[in-house]
Structures are given as structure tokens and as C-alpha cells.
Structure 1
Amino acid sequence: MPQDFASFDLWTGLFGGLALFLFGMDLLTRALKRVTGDQLKAILARLTDNRIKGLLLGAGVTSVVQSSSVTTVLVVGFISAGVMSLGQSVAVIMGANIGTTITAQILAFQITALALPLVTLGVTLTLVTENRMWREYGGALIGLGLIFYGMSVMSGAMAPLRDSAPFIELMASLSNPALAILVGAGFTALVQSSSATTGILIVLAGQGMVTLDAAIGVALGANVGTCVTAMLAGIGKPREAVRAAVVHTIFNLAGVALWLWFIPELADLARLLSPGGGTARHLAWAHTVFNVVNAVLMIGATGQIARLAEWLVPDRPARAEPEGTPKFLESALLDTPQIALEAAHREVVRLGRHATSMVEVALPVALDGPRLRLEQLAERDRAINQLHQAIIAYLGQISLRRLSLAQSDELVRLVSAANDFEQIADLVARDLVVSSLKRLDDGVVVSPATRRIIARFHAEVVAALRGAVDAFEGRDAGRAREVRAMKGTMRELSHEMALHGIERLTARAPRRVKTYTREVELIEILDDIFRLARRVARLETEADEAAAR
């Protein structure tokens, strides 16, 4: 008896199978991303110097991790880090669309009989082995098995619809390309997965419930629907992320507009490429041809597409962000720890620049006041403390992910540097300000000769701190060694200051003991800042030595 659309078994089977399919896709993507994340990052960073490489790279990376969104997250991270330009990213995003066609090709084989064996093998691997890599491979197999099992459940639930007159009429209406595209776009925007739409289409095509032309129309609509997903993901994100979503949208919409009038020809070409295959295989080939041809036609216009995205999403009007507001700590990057660590690295550099700025302006205020400027100097430490807390919290979230040994070492290095920079700011806001307030209370005036020596000492400390931040930012071990080599100069200046202090202590001058005390305190605070700068530089030299071993 024909199955009605209101049937409980139909909807539970359809949505239950879809849930298994989506859960399997998530498991597969997460496992493959953990296995290949660092290698993919390194490859992406090195091989995007021309469009063709970028295109092939985007296709390859996405075919491995089975998710264009993962590739896009990597790309956005590189753009934010300055490793990749938006123009270079266009080719990678085009390639990511090609990579997603691998999913359709795999599903079109309809090897659902392997579903439970794959789950069994995957569970066995995760239970019997202690090796982290093999456990991830086991998770990937579980995900792949659930994808096939979900398709099997959907296929079984929908099989009776072959005899349902309302369903047959609905499928017939999809012969209208505009309606088919609308259905595909709406469903994909709803389930947030073009792969899910493709999976259902392959189930329907495999049972002869939908014609190839109608299925292609819905698949084109899925490309429109996935743009909605990309744009939603960009809400509230940095401008680079929004532009990457806009690039994805421009590419997909232009491709759909191009093929809208050539769906029958695309269907004929798919049949030609797979003469012995059924509708499911023809649909997979149509999906591949659509994305490959679009990429080939538009690969020469990556620069124009990038400029269009920049025009559509202009930079926000320049405004001074509060020092304590994080700029790079995006929660969307946490699932890709290597990129998240890169973002945290850039934020720690910002923290170091803010601390350096405090040290730079500290000496004139410390020597001359007034009290209001000393209070303002101390107030700046609040913003630095706020930024430091945000960095440490973000690094704590990264630590909850599965990290490689190198990533764990980098996380410890970032925590150490952030703590050192925050301590430098504390030395200025707490010790130096308190000492300067005592100087004002005691009526102490620092002599011109003493000012000159302290100014030289301060200039060396600032130079060391700038060098340490530069070395940390550029991961420049040579620059870090230069900072550490400044110890000899600082020792000479300290000795000179000590001799001068003794001379001043025995001189006939008012309040000479209190003056000596305040001057020694100031030098000791600056010396503590110098030691922290050298400690940051040492982090870089130690990392370089560890990499060389």
C-alpha cells in the first residue's frame, strides 16, 4: 500500500538516517583533522604561491578532511596571520569546492553493506589500541560507517514512496530548474550541510525516484544553500573571515548562474563520463564537472574576485581599540589547535608591545611626576591584566584539545611569555609608581648627572625589551641572542651607577640618603625588567636549540 507523507516510519527513518549521516560526517571530519591538521597547515603555508597550486591544494586538503569548512577555517587563520593574502585564498576556496565532490563520488558507489563492518572495525581500533593515531583512524572508520548506515536507513524509509502519488508529483515538479534550485538551497540552509543534501539525492537517484536533471537542479541549489551557511558562520567574525565567506558565495552563485541554462547538457556529459552507471553515479559526475569547470573558468579572475569581496566588505572605520580587548582570539579557531596557537602568539606579541609602551613612557613620569600622570600610568596595567587573562583563558581552552608534543611545547612557551610581559607591566604599575610617589612625598629631586646615567640605563632596557618582542614575534633566534648578549653592557652600566650612587651618598646635598634610596630602587626595577626581557629572549633561543636537536 502506498506510504503517506504523514507516516511515522517515513519521517523517523528519514530524519534518523539523516542524523546518523551528519553525525558520521562530523566524526570523520574531526578524526581526519586531528590526524592531518599540522601537516595540512604546513602544506597550505608553503604551497599557495600561485593560483594552480592553491586550487590543487584546496581540493587535496578538502578531499582528505571531507569538509570545505575546515579548509576555510585554515585559510582564514592564515589570512589573519598574514601568511596568505585574500587573493591567494580565492584559489584555495575554489579548490575546496572540488574537494567536496569526493564525498559524492564515494556515496554514489552505494556500498552500504560495508556500513556495519566499518563501524565494527573502527570501534575495535579505538578499544584495543593505545596508539593515538590508530585511535583517530578508528574514529574516522566509525564516522564513514555511520555515513553509509545513515544512507541505508534513509533509503529503507523512503523506498515505499515510489508508489506514493503525492511524492511522484513533487518529484515531477522538480523538472522546473528554478524550483529544484530553490528546494536544494532551502534544504541545505536548513540542515547546514551540502553533503547531506547530496546524500539524500543519491538515495533518491539510486531508487529511481528522481530524474537526473531534477537531481542536478537540487544539487545546484545545494551550492546556493551552503553559501547561506558560510555567511552565517561569518557573522561577528573578523573582516577576513567575512570576506572568505563572500568569496565562497560569489564563486558558487556565479557557477549556479552559469549552469542554470545548461542542466540538460550537464546531464548528458555526466552520462557520457559514466556510461555504465546509474543515476546516482551520473549525479556524482555532474557534481564533479560542475565544480571543476567553474574553477577552471574562474581561476584567472582570483584577483578580481578578491577585490570584489574587499569592496563588498570594506574595512571598518579606524578606531582605537581598548588595549585590553583581544584582537585575534577567535573561538572558531579552537578546533584547529595549530591555527589557534598562531592566533594566541599574535596576541601575546600585542601584550608585549603594550608592556613595552608602558616602560618607554615610565622614566620621565618617574623622575618628574606629577601624581596624576603616575596614576594614569598605573591605570594602564588594568588593560594589560585584562588582555593577559584573556590570553591565558584562550590557551587553557587550547590545552583541552588533543595536542602534539610540539604544540604542547608551543603552548607552554606562550604562557611563559605572556606571564613575563604581564609581570613587566606590574613592575611599572606597582613598584615604579609606588617608588615615584615616595620620591614626591620625600621632596627628592634627582640631579642632572644622575638623570643622564639613569636615562642611558633605561634606554638599554627599552632596547632589550623591544628586541625581545621582535624576536618573539618573528621567531628570530639570532635577534634573541643579541638581546641576551646585552647583559655585559647592562652590568657595566650598573657598576657605573653604583659608583655614582656612592659619590652622591657622600656628597653635601639635602636628603642625600632618601635620594640614594629612590635612585637605587629605580635602577633595581629597570634591572628586573631587563631580566624579564632576557627571559623572553631565552624562550626563543631554547626553542631554536630544541628544533635543531
Structure 2
Amino acid sequence: MDLIFTLLDLAGYVALLLWGVHMVQTGIQRAFGPRLRASLGVALANRGYAFLAGLGVTAILQSSTATGLMIAGFAGSGLVGLVPALAAMLGANVGTTLIVQVLSFDVTIWAPILVLAGVLMFRRSNATHTRDLGRVGIGLGLLLLSLHLLLGQLEPYRELPALRAVLGALSDQPVLAVLLAAALAWAAHSSVAVVVLVMSFAAQGIVPPDTAFALVLGANLGTAINPMLEGAARQDPLARRLPLGNFMNRALGVAVGLLALRYVQPLMTQLADGDNARAVANFHTLFNLALALIFMPVLRPYSRLLQRLLPPNPDRPDPGQPRYLDDAARELPVVALGNAAREALRMADTLQTMLQNTRAAFDRGDRKRIAETRQLDDVLDKLNAAIKTYVSSLDADELTEDDRKRSGEILTFITNLEHAGDVLVTNLLAHIGKQIKRGLSFSPAGRREMTEMLDRLGANLKLAASLFMTDDPRAARLLGAEKDVFRRLEIDATRAHFDRLRAHRLDSTETSALHLDILRDLRRINTHLVAAAAYPVLEDHGELLTTRVRPATESGASPAH
């Protein structure tokens, strides 16, 4: 019975350790995530800057997984080459060793201070940024406290014969130790937590140094498994190269490390002056630095090898399948929402192609373009459903106010684009198809008016896509003004239509009515574009009126009694 309670205590302390790491990571991501992502994107210009950027961002986030997701997003979209992306991952792996170095010192005294400061910041402040930093303080305090409790729980059992026998088996089987630690790091999604745990065992003398070093090698291998599995599930080889390359260089490093373990272990123990915890931390750092030094000079041929292993897919991918909605990024809202925004821009590109096909069908009477456009509407529907599901699946407790605002903007944008596509296919294309089928022709003035409106609509869609990414109030005003332009064009066309009816020009009645229907559809599409991008920005800046109707007191009329 005592054994069961002991195991439960150990499991609880390990869970507290994992939760402390999680709180530190999420707090940093909430506080600095968007700025770190932007900085990382700018720094990925060459391998040197990329290495330093990966190291710095990971040192702050304390998660090579989070940094890897950001880098994979850039690499998968073709925004950054494979060489600097691999360099950034090498830097990220080195960055994870910094917190382990700090924790290798006796900093337990700071645990209650960090928790107290974190709680005060979280409870007493209304500022989101301060509350996020409070989460970081609480997480660090819980991490240190869990280590202290874990060490105290393990102290009485360090001399148990059964425990010695199990650890002796691991000492004789370093490959088994590597596999065990790799499985733990894979399950915990964190090499830091596993290395810190190993460091605690080594400090108590429960794990001999050579076994501890083998476990550290396994933890470094295990943290690369999840990104590789996520990448393997993707159809685009471009998105799979980076996680595979990161896994391969770490696997090669682990293999070499195992062979060199008998030579490295005495040297690391001697340098740490008998402090096993520090020896583990130093070995962890040395391993990742050695990998960086070995692979940095050969990244170019290494990237060519990965390109040969994963050549471009010759098959044309399904345009309705999302490309950027990475399931692994759901735990990182700042990354997940960026992925959703990129997917939303694909919807804008699809709608742009639909407008171009519509204009071609109108100009040349091309029925084939009408059929192609109807198929593209299915693409819009699929992407819209996928993005909505992805954004809605994000944990609401992990979202900041800015995250919630951005998620609302994304959903508003894609919903209006999908409605615009429905109007285009269901109404506008039906009217153009009727015109082609019946051989009707518009007057030169009417044709010119409609083609100009189609071109204007295409320009407004580009403006809406740009505005969706920039939130520029000047662009929002320009796009918002287009609603009045289209409304005025429809009013003028309606008046001209009734003038022709009064003049009894029956031969133009049918084309006049069709002209009027087409203009109405174009106006409705434009209204959705304005609502998709301009209205959220104008409302955010307090420039959106609640009604177009002027109050009675302002128009000079007396209010009704």
C-alpha cells in the first residue's frame, strides 16, 4: 500500500513539474508571442541570423516545439528557405538548454517568492501583459517547488535494492535508456521537463552519470518525434522536410553520442567537480552545441539531401484541402491564428479567380469558365468549413483578448467571402448564363458599365485581403466608401431601366432587366467584401455608424409624440 501512495506522490510531483513548464511557456507566448513571431520571420534571412533568432526566441519561450511550429509555418509556405529554417532549428535546440543550466543551480529558495509575485501580478493587475507575466512567475515557482518535493520524495529510496537493480539494467543497456527517455519526451511534449527530471535523479545519486547522459540523449531525440509525425501527416513534401531534417540530425547525434559516451562521461563529471546535476546540464548543452557546430557548415548539401528524399509532389493537390491548418499549433493560439489567417487569404485568392472567370464568361460567352467557377465555389465552402472548425477548436482559456478579437475577425472575413461566392455562383453566373443561352447582347454603354464594375470589384477584393492583414483605417475608409459607389451605380441603372420602359422600347426591356439584376448582384458581392474587412476595422476605431438614417431632430422634423 505504501508503494502505491509513493508512486502517486511521484506522479503528482512530475505532473506539477510539467504544469509549471506549461505555465511558463503559455505565459511567455501570450505576452510576447506575436512580436517574437514577427521578429523570427524577419531574422530568417541567412543561416547565421536564423540560428541566433531560433536560439533567442526559444530561450524566451522555453519551447523548441513552439519555435519549430513558427519556423515550419514559414518554411511550409515557401517564405523562407530550407537552409535558414534548419539553422533556426539548431538554434532552437540550443535555446532549450539555457533553462536547464539555470535549474542546475540550487534555486529552490526562489520558489515561494516567484509564486507570490506571480499571484499578485495575476490577481491585482488588470493589464493583460502583466497578468501573462504573472503566469510565468507562478509557473517558474511551481517548477522549482516540484523539483524540491521530488528530490525529497526520492531521498529515502535511493538505496533500495529493487531500484538499484532497475537502474543497473539501464546502465548496461544505454540504448534502452535512450528509448525510454525518448518516449517520455514524446509523451510530455517537452525535453526540458525530462532533462530536469533526469538531473534530479542524478543529483540524488539514483541514476549514475553514464545512464543520465543516455537519458538526456533520448530526451533530445524524443522532442523531435512529434513535429516529424505531424509533418508526415501532411501531403505537401515542402512542409515535411524541416521536421524530418531536424529529426535526422538529432538521431545521428544520438548515435554518435552513444558511441562517445564512455569517453565523454568522465570528462563531464570531472569538469562539474562531482556535481552530477551540473554534469547533466553541461552534457545537454554540449550535445546541442556540438550538433550546431557539425551541421551549420553543411546545411546546404544537407538541404539538397532532404529535397531528394522528399521531392515535390507531382500530383496536383486538392485546392479544397487546407494547407496551413496545423493541428500541432492548436496549443499555441498565436501560431494557430496566423495559420488560419493564411488559409483565409487562400479563400480570397479563390474568390479572385472566380471573379476573373466571371468576367471572361461575360466578355466572351465562355460557358466553360462558368463551370470552372461553380467548382471553385466548392473550394470556398470546404476552406470556410475547415477554418471555422480549426478556429473554434482552440482552447478559449488559452486565448488572450487580442486572440479573441483576431479569431472574430477571421471568422467574419471567411463567412462574408463564402457568402460573396454564393451570390456570385447562384445569382450572377445564372444571369450571365441566361444571357449567353438566349443570345442577348447589351448596349455598349451597359456592357462597359458592367465590366468596369467587375474590375472594380476585383480591386476591392484585393484591398479587402490587404486590409485583413494590416488593419489600416485609411484603407478601411476607402473600401467602406465603395459601398456608396456601388449603391449609386445601381440607383442610376434602375432609373435608366424605367426610362426605357416609359419610352416603350420593348426590344431592350429584357436586356435592361438582366442588366439591373447583374448590377444588383455585383453590389451584394461588394457589400460582403466591405463587411468582411472594412467594418471590423472601422468599428474598432469608432468610425462605424450604427445606422444610415439621420435622426429626426437633425433633419429639422419634430420628433413624434
Q: Structure 1 residues 350 and 20 mapped into 2: Cα distance closer, same or farther (>3 Å)?
A: same
* Structure 2 residue 224 is the aligned partner of structure 1 residue 201: no
* Structure 2 residue 517 is the aligned partner of structure 1 residue 521: yes
Answer yes or no: is the 8 Å Cα contact 1:123–1:138 preserved in 2. yes
Answer yes or no: is the 8 Å Cα contact 2:355–2:454 preserved in 1. no
Q: Which residue of 2 aligns with 1:215?
A: 212
Q: Structure 1 residues 192 and 518 mapped into 2: Cα distance closer, same or farther (>3 Å)?
A: closer
In structure 1, C-alpha distance between the alignment counterparts of 2:383 and 2:177, rounded to whole Å: 50
Answer yes or no: is the 8 Å Cα contact 2:341–2:410 preserved in 1. yes
* Structure 2 residue 42 is the aligned partner of structure 1 residue 50: no
* Structure 2 residue 247 is the aligned partner of structure 1 residue 225: no
* Structure 2 residue 276 is the aligned partner of structure 1 residue 279: yes
- CA distances 1:241-271 after superposition (whole Å, capped 9, x unpaired): 5333212212211222333333244334434
Following TM superposition, by how much is the alpha carbon of 1:186 offset from its aligned partner in structure 2, in angstroms? 4.5
- CA distances 1:358-399 after superposition (whole Å, capped 9, x unpaired): 333335656998999878866754542443344344445569
1:27-66 to structure 2, matched below 5 A, reads 27-66=23-62
* Structure 2 residue 443 is the aligned partner of structure 1 residue 445: no
In structure 2, C-alpha distance between the alignment counterparts of 1:372 and 1:507, rounded to whole Å: 37
Q: Structure 1 residues 185 and 121 mapped into 2: Cα distance closer, same or farther (>3 Å)?
A: same
* Structure 2 residue 94 is the aligned partner of structure 1 residue 91: no
- CA distances 1:64-88 after superposition (whole Å, capped 9, x unpaired): 2221111111212222344332221
1:303-314 to structure 2, matched below 5 A, reads 303-314=300-311
Answer yes or no: is the 8 Å Cα contact 1:444–1:511 preserved in 2. no
Picking from 22, 26, 39, the partner of 1:26 is 22
In structure 2, C-alpha distance between the alignment counterparts of 1:423 and 1:505, rounded to whole Å: 33
Q: Structure 1 residues 310 and 491 mapped into 2: Cα distance closer, same or farther (>3 Å)?
A: same
In structure 1, C-alpha distance between the alignment counterparts of 2:384 and 2:374, rounded to whole Å: 16
1:61-140 to structure 2, matched below 5 A, reads 61-140=57-136
TM-score normalised according to structure 2 size: 0.80
1:222-261 to structure 2, matched below 5 A, reads 222-237=219-234, 239=236, 240-261=238-259
TM-score normalised according to structure 1 size: 0.81
Q: Aligned partner of 2:440: which letter?
A: V
Q: CA RMSD in A?
A: 4.2
1:277-426 to structure 2, matched below 5 A, reads 278-323=275-320, 325-362=321-358, 381-397=377-393, 400=396, 410-411=406-407, 413-426=409-422
Q: Which ranges of structure 1 fall in alignment gaps of 5 or more residues?
A: none
In structure 2, C-alpha distance between the alignment counterparts of 1:473 and 1:302, rounded to whole Å: 36
Following TM superposition, by how much is the alpha carbon of 1:50 offset from its aligned partner in structure 2, in angstroms? 2.3
Aligned residues: 539
Answer yes or no: is the 8 Å Cα contact 1:55–1:94 preserved in 2. yes
Q: Aligned partner of 1:457: which letter?
A: E
Picking from 13, 23, 47, the partner of 2:9 is 13
Give percent identity, aligned residues only: 26
In structure 1, C-alpha distance between the alignment counterparts of 2:175 and 2:410, rounded to whole Å: 53
Q: Which residue of 1 aligns with 2:548?
A: none
In structure 1, C-alpha distance between the alignment counterparts of 2:315 and 2:156, rounded to whole Å: 61
Picking from 403, 416, 431, the partner of 2:427 is 431
Following TM superposition, by how much is the alpha carbon of 1:16 offset from its aligned partner in structure 2, in angstroms? 2.4
Following TM superposition, by how much is the alpha carbon of 1:98 offset from its aligned partner in structure 2, in angstroms? 1.1
- Using the TM superposition, name which of 17-26 and 443-452 deviates more: 443-452
Q: Which ranges of structure 2 fall in alignment gaps of 5 or more residues?
A: 543-561
Answer yes or no: is the 8 Å Cα contact 2:348–2:465 preserved in 1. no
Residue 207 of structure 2 aligns to a residue in which SS? coil
In structure 1, C-alpha distance between the alignment counterparts of 2:307 and 2:360, rounded to whole Å: 44
Answer yes or no: is the 8 Å Cα contact 1:363–1:458 preserved in 2. no
Answer yes or no: is the 8 Å Cα contact 2:358–2:369 preserved in 1. no
Residue 163 of structure 1 aligns to a residue in which SS? coil
Answer yes or no: is the 8 Å Cα contact 1:13–1:156 preserved in 2. no
Q: Structure 1 residues 364 and 82 mapped into 2: Cα distance closer, same or farther (>3 Å)?
A: closer
